[in-house]
């Protein structure tokens, strides 16, 4: 920036200038020379960046030397592969535990239903026994009434037509 100014100042003949103009021109020439030298020292040449250049993306497929059909997920990063394996095992175990809990709940429900059915069957059996006793008593009562009517020879509405509820 100061180089063209210095070139112009070098063309000026300082010795021919009169009075105070000569020393002022020479001090200005020294100032511009100093600025030019300091600017040259401060200025650094351009360099390439220090970061690693980014590779251009390729569409060439990656081949694995030891490919296996059995391995569904292949990850070259061992930590990430182990983490994925543990996550898969956790999901598998969790689903198995859920399945077992459902089976246990179904078994408990079946046992409850069986117990309820057993109680109902016992109640029905006792009720059938009681109804049988009542039916036999009613039959005996009707039989005695019929015999009494037959002995008296009562005509008219029969006592057998009376229903006992």
Residue bearing the bigger pLDDT, 67 or 149: 149
- DSSP run (H or E) holding 90: helix 78-152
Domain housing 3: 1-42
The answer to whether residue 78 is domain-embedded is: no
The answer to whether residue 127 is domain-embedded is: no
**Would you tell me how many other CB atoms lie within 10 Å of the CB of residue 65?**
4
pTM of the entire structure? 0.40
pLDDT 10s digits, 106-119: 999 999 999 999 99
The answer to whether residue 102 is domain-embedded is: no
> Is the pLDDT reported for residue 32 higher than 80?
yes
> Is the pLDDT reported for residue 123 higher than 90?
yes
The token pair at 137 is 């008593």
Q: Is the dihedral of CA 22, 28, 34, 40 positive or negative?
A: negative
Our count of domains for the chain comes to 1
């Amino acid at each position: 920036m100061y180089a063209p100014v210095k070139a112009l100042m070098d063309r000026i003949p300082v010795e021919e200038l009169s009075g105070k103009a000569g020393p002022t021109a020479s001090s200005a020439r020294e100032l511009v020379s100093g600025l030019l030298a300091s600017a040259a020292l401060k200025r650094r040449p351009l360099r390439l960046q220090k970061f690693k250049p980014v590779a251009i993306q390729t569409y060439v497929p990656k081949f694995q030397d030891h490919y296996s059909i059995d391995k569904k997920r292949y990850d070259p990063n061992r930590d990430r592969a182990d983490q994925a394996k543990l996550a898969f095992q956790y999901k598998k175990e969790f689903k198995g535990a859920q399945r077992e809990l459902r089976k246990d709940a179904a078994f408990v429900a079946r046992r409850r239903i069986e117990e309820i059915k057993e109680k109902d069957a016992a109640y029905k059996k006792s009720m059938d026994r009681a109804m049988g006793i009542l039916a036999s008593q009613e039959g005996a009562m009707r039989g005695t009434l019929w015999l009494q009517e037959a002995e008296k020879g009562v005509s008219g509405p029969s006592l057998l037509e009376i229903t006992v509820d």
